[in-house]
Every structure is written in structure tokens, then in C-alpha cells.
Amino acid sequence: MSHKVASVKGPLPGPRSKELLARWARVEAQCMGYQAQVAWDHASGVVVTDADGNTFIDWTSGVLVTNVGHCHPVLVKAVQVIAGKLLNNYECLQESRVEAAEKLISVLPPFLDKCFFLTTGSETIEAALRIMKRKSGKFEIISFYGAFHGRTYAALSAGGMAGPKKGYGPTIPGSIRVPFPYCYRCPFRADPATCDMLCLDYLEDAVRANSTGSLAGLIVEPYQGAAGFIFPPQGWLPRLEKWLRGRGLLFTLDEVQSSYGRTGKFWAMEWEGLTPDLLCIGKGIGSGVPASAIAARGEVIGALGAGEMSSTMGGNPLASAAVSVVVDIMRREGLVENALRMGAIMKSRLLEMQEKSPYIGDVRGMGLVMGVELVKDKKTKEPAPDLTRKLIDQAAGLGLLIGSVGVFGNVIRVAPPLVISEAEVHESLNIFEKALSRL
């Protein structure tokens, strides 16, 4: 029998976590989503240890960030070494930055031949939208219901979720939002088996009704993350790209969370041969060290001249060192392949659980990014956000950290670091099954 890594000694939160959570609530605004009631202390690989010494298997990767595993020793070492040399040089060059750019370009398809470093995912969205407008000389951007591109102003304007926008209107003029193929809850009440992607036809209607004739481009996630890990049916993204190319629109793909092996390919765009003009990259690129980047066709990003894009922290030595070694680690440890293999095992067991559980309405995803959608009733599909929170607590009490997403807050995100082993996969699935049985 393999050695178990999860161990929770008593009720959660333990005394030290409880004290930290109370201190925190007194001083920092509590405007975040629901999380398991533990204070993290340290982590390694897929195992998180809380402030009371309890250990958990992590299915969150932070929020799909620590793809190479928590505190990978090679990443930690690289950060320690560079921190002793230089911490900020703004736009003056230091070798680590050119190395990072070379590394990033080396893993991108050849048509994306230029990159630029920023710090957060939202910043890359702001940059992509600005570049699409500047390059085309037009201002309208098509995006999708349920999209989440971040919380800065242009990013939330392109977004299709209520939370980030609430009370913050008007959003940026020229945002045209259209339905995304959330087939489990089709906005057209169509049958995905026979609809022939009706939602794509609707694009023409939406443009006819809403555009002033100034369409610049379109932004889309390969799968919708925050909306509930919603994967479009096979063939939908290529048909979307064909449609936008036919109209001469620029194409931004938001791979802030879907990249760096998450779906079982280095880039999610590889699955269906997409060829975007601009690619937004975040989260896994630094695997915990704050870093992000935009990659683009040279002639597209060339729309910005000297002095027209910069970021105080973008491409700083710490981030740059991380960007370089993360690529090396991914390659050396075959993490893309591991995501595919472990993901297949996880998905088949989650599908078995769906058969047995009255509450699992849908299981979807690929590689190590899967959504488990919880409902009160499989026939009515009424979302079950309360059960979702209960499941988060039950799982934590047994040694598994999970989080939730979804338009209705009822989707469990299954997204462990890509270093997860087969033994850890089974141990964590056993815990999940037990937690489910306690709902």
C-alpha cells in the first residue's frame, strides 16, 4: 500500500488557523470567494501544510498557478539566486529578461514571434484589447457570456460575468457580448447533438444588431474558466476562427489559465490548431512568481511604437528567472504528458462518481483541468451552490483542498499541480468520493 500524504488531526480550522483567520478579517477586506477554512503555511509539490500542521492534497494549484508544483526546488533556487543580484531595473536590460523572452518564444508556435512581459493576467488583456484597437483603427470588441478576463476596466468590460461588473458601469462602449456554448445549460435550450452549433449563427445576428461598423476583433478563452470550466464542443473554436477571419477581425486567445500544460498540451490552442494574432499568458508562466506575458504576431504588436507600452514590474529579474526555469522544468519533467495521463485517470473516476451521485450533474474537461458541476436535482439541473460550499469543507476536513467556480458558484475545480503522481491521484479521488458521500 502506498504511503498516504493527507493527514488532518482535528476539526478545521485548527487553533492557529482560526487565530490567523480572525486577525485577517479584522484588517483586510473580505471580498473574496469561499475557500476552505485553513491558513496555509507551506507547500511542496501537491501537498499543502496548514498553520496547524495538517496536510492536504491540493486540487487548486492556488488558482491554476503552480503548474510545476508548489515551491519546486529549482524554481525556488533560481529566484533566490537572482534576488541576491538584482530586483528591479525597469526597462533597462538584464540578461534574465532576454533569456526569458527567448525561452517563451521557443515554446510558442512560429507565427507568434514576439512577446512582452507584464505582471498579471488582466494586464495582458488590457494590452491585447489596446493592440487590437490600435492595429485596426476600430473600437468594437466581441466577447462572450460567461467570459472572465480579469477585473481591470477593459478586461471586465469584455467579461460576461456579473460579479466583476456589479455597480461599476457603464462598461467600455463597443463591447459586444454573445452566448458561449455552455452545452449543459444551452442558452438557446438546443440539443448539442443536433444543433450544429446554432450559437455560431447567432454571431451574425448579434453583429447586425449591435455593431456600428467598427469591429476591431474578438477575444475568447479556449475553455471558460471562472464561468465553470466550460469546454466548447469540438470544432466550435476553429469555426469561430474561420468566421472572424472571414470578417477580417483580429483574434485574441486568452490562455491566462489554459496554458503551460494544463489541458494536456502546452497551449490549449494546439488541440484544434488555432492561430490567434495575440495570446494572453499568465498564472502558470511563473508558477507562483508573479509574471505574465502577451505573445503576438510581430506585425500586430508592432502597432505600438516606442514608449507606448511598459509596466513597472513587467519582466523584472525575479519574474524573468522564473519564466525561464518554469519552461525548463516543464520540459525536463514531462509535465504536459503527465497532465494528460493523470487527467485521464481522474476523469474516468469522476465520471464513475457522477453515475452514483445524485448531485453531480456534469463532469467536463481535459488534462488536469476539470469541472464537476453540482446540482440539487439531475433532471431540473437546479444549481447547488450550498452543497458546493459544504463539499469544500467536507473535503478539507478529510485532507483535500478544492475550490469552486461557476456562473452559479456550483462547480468544483479539479486542477492539481501537474506534478501529481498516480498514488496522489487515487488518494485524492478517494477523499473526494468520501466527502461526496457526506453531503
Of residues 121 and 179, the one with the C-beta less far from ligand PLP: 121
- 376 touches 19 (CB < 8 A): no
d(CA 299, CA 44): 42
Cα 157 versus chain centre, distance: 18
- Only one of the segments 23-31, 145-153, 175-183, 271-279 lies at the binding site for ligand PLP (rule: CB under 6 A); that segment is 145-153
Question: Could you tell me how many residues of this chain bind ligand PLP (CB under 6 A)?
Answer: 15
One character per residue 25-64, x = contact with ligand PLP (rule: CB under 6 A):
--------------------------------------x-
HSE (CB half, 13 Å, CA atoms) of 295? 26
Provide the pairing of β-strand 369-374 with 411-414. Answer: antiparallel
**Minimum distance between the CB of residue 11 and ligand PLP, rounded to whole angstroms?**
31
Q: Which is nearer to ligand PLP, 282 or 365 (CB)?
A: 282
Task: Output the smallest distance, CB 290 to ligand PLP, in A.
Answer: 8
Give, as ranges, the residues between 83 and 142 that touch ligand PLP (CB under 6 A). Answer: 120-122, 125
| CB 405, min distance to ligand PLP, A | 9
Question: Which span (75-83, 219-227, 335-343, 419-427) binds ligand PLP, by CB under 6 A?
Answer: 219-227
**Applying CB under 6 A, which of residues 50, 52, 140, 221 lies at the interface with ligand PLP?**
221
Taking CB under 6 A as the binding criterion, the range among 21-29, 148-156, 360-368, 392-400 that sits at the site for ligand PLP is 148-156
CA-to-CA distance for 195 and 182, rounded, in angstroms?
Answer: 13
Minimal distance, residue 257 CB to ligand PLP, in Å: 4
The least distance separating ligand PLP from the CB of residue 409, rounded to whole angstroms, comes to 15
In the set 40, 116, 148, 231, which binds ligand PLP (CB under 6 A)?
Answer: 148
Round to whole Å and give the CA distance between 416 and 343: 10
The Cα–Cα gap between 232 and 223 comes to 6
Binding mask 159-198 for ligand PLP (x = CB under 6 A): ----------------------------------------
Nearest approach, Cβ of residue 419 and ligand PLP (Å): 21
In this structure, the dihedral spanned by the alpha carbons of residues 375, 376, 378 and 380, taken in order and rounded to 10 degrees, is -100
Neighbours of 241 (CB within 10 A): 21
When binding is defined by CB under 6 A, the residue of 62, 179, 225, 416 that contacts ligand PLP is 225
Nearest distance in Å: CB 151, ligand PLP: 7
CA–CA separation, 391 and 434 (whole Å): 10
Q: Which is nearer to ligand PLP, 264 or 284 (CB)?
A: 284
If the CB atoms of residues 41 and 153 are measured against ligand PLP, the closer one turns out to be 153
**Beta carbon nearer to ligand PLP, 17 or 61:** 61
Q: Which residue's CB atom is positioned nearest to ligand PLP?
A: 121
Among positions 241-280, residues that touch ligand PLP (CB under 6 A) are: 254, 256-257
Q: Which of residues 149, 177, 262, 347 is near ligand PLP by CB under 6 A?
A: 149
Closest CA to 241 of 212, 278, 206, 266: 278
Q: Which is nearer to ligand PLP, 43 or 125 (CB)?
A: 125
Rule CB under 6 A: say whether 282 interacts with ligand PLP. Answer: yes
CB of 293 to ligand PLP, least distance (A): 12
Binding site for ligand PLP (CB under 6 A): 63, 120-122, 125, 148-150, 221, 225-226, 254, 256-257, 282
